[in-house]
Structure 1
Amino acid sequence: MARWEPNAAERLAHAALELFAERGYDDTTVIDIARRAGLGKSTFFRHFQDKREVLFGRGSVDGLITEAIAAAPETAAPLDLVAHALDALGGEVFTAERREFAARRQVVIAANPELREREALKNLALVVSMADALRRRGVPEVTARVSADLGALASAIAFERWSGKTSGEDFRVLARQALADVRACASAC
């Protein structure tokens, strides 16, 4: 690919995923990724801090969650606020076009302890962002924390269901169902 083509960050992410799957994470360098994408090493570092980050994005998910919770109706209950956040993820991040990439990404992450650790840290940061956004909406501390944790659990369940599907099931539908399942389980406890 020519260096001038658009979507450098996306090209780098796809190149990294291909190389990690072919060679393994440890045996792939930033230079390998940049070359596969048809770009230079400096372009890689304009978009990503290191080779781990190429699979984890640059924080846009935090903003989506925060904005969705802030924009939800004033009368929304805490878990309904969480549902709005999950809807935002489904509309922007977990789209049909990204399903195959997401499924392949999970295989690569599962095969590498360093990437699993990074995924866990990123998920914890999302829980914190969600809880902070809920508190800003006036949700009491403990309720915000529990709602955020339940939302993260529902999101993880929905992601597993969504990324494992080849049919066109929408992440938002799966997330709403997972949130209903989580609510039912919490009520039964």
Structure 2
Amino acid sequence: MARWEPHARQRLADAALELFAERGYEETTVLDIARRAGLAKSTFFRHFQDKRGVLFAEDAPAGPLVAAIAAAPAQAGPLDAVEYGLDALGRDVFTADRRPFTLRRRAVIEAHPDLREREALKEAGLTAAMGRAIAGRGVPGLAARVTAELGGLALKAAYERWSDPAGTEDFGDIARQTLDEIRSAVAEVRG
């Protein structure tokens, strides 16, 4: 096979999700994935560290999220800056063309406790990245952490709504609605 294969990463990811659905995650090997994609096993390892990488290495959302928070207008409050970050995810990561992959990915993760644990670690990493980006805007430590936790909650809830098989809304719209609900909840808690 040729060293360079067009769209190899996506072909491998699609093949993996097909096999996970057909055979189960545990019963699928890297060799099975490579064969299904019509690629060599070595090509798989040029794109992913292991089969979990198919589920967790794609389009790392931290980059666009953090960049958009940092680039938010100076007058934007901390949660407003998070909103800019979530909008960026809707434009750059959680797009309509990625939705079918995300739906299949979510089904595989929900079926396996160890993968759910890995997903939770990924979510915690995104929340921490938000906290650093918010602190980088000059927001004091505890306020940055609280904002990041609220942002993480908004991200998780918006992702769950967007990746629901019955859903059709744009991620950015869902994220803004979720942040509005969180703002209302915070106001209610404050009394």
> Normalised by the shorter chain, which TM-score bucket?
over 0.9
Once the two structures are superposed, residues 5-44 of structure 1 have per-residue CA deviations (whole angstroms, 9 ceiling, x without a partner) of 4221111111111111111111011111111111111111
Structure 1 residue 60 displacement after superposition: 2.9
Say if 2:93 is the partner of 1:93.
yes
Q: Distance in 2 between matches of 1:165 and 1:24?
A: 20
Structure 1 residue 162 displacement after superposition: 1.3
The aligned runs of 1:86-165 (5 Å cut-off) are 86-164=86-164
Unaligned runs of 5+ in 2: none
| Matching residue's letter, 1:95 | T
Q: Distance in 2 between matches of 1:116 and 1:7?
A: 28
Indicate conservation of the 8 Å contact 1:16/1:33, yes or no: yes
Q: Paired residues, what number?
A: 189
Unaligned runs of 5+ in 1: none
Partner of 1:28: 28
| Matching residue's letter, 2:180 | A
Q: Distance in 1 between matches of 2:36 and 2:93?
A: 24
Q: Distance in 2 between matches of 1:165 and 1:116?
A: 18
| Matching residue's letter, 2:55 | L
Calculate the TM-score normalised by the size of structure 1. 0.93
DSSP 3-state at the match of 1:52:
helix
Indicate conservation of the 8 Å contact 1:3/1:39, yes or no: no
Once the two structures are superposed, residues 139-168 of structure 1 have per-residue CA deviations (whole angstroms, 9 ceiling, x without a partner) of 111111111111111111111221225564
Q: 1:52 to 1:4 in 2, by over 3 A?
A: same
Indicate conservation of the 8 Å contact 2:103/2:165, yes or no: no
Q: Distance in 1 between matches of 2:6 and 2:92?
A: 19
Partner of 1:176: 176
Indicate conservation of the 8 Å contact 1:15/1:37, yes or no: yes
DSSP 3-state at the match of 2:51:
coil
Identity of aligned residues (%): 60
Q: Give the 4+ runs in structure 1 shifted more than 3 A.
A: 2-5, 165-168
Q: Distance in 1 between matches of 2:163 and 2:119?
A: 16
Say if 2:21 is the partner of 1:12.
no
Q: Distance in 2 between matches of 1:144 and 1:9?
A: 36
Mean CA deviation greater in 4-13 or 97-106: 4-13
Indicate conservation of the 8 Å contact 2:59/2:93, yes or no: no
Q: Distance in 2 between matches of 1:127 and 1:53?
A: 20
DSSP 3-state at the match of 1:60:
coil
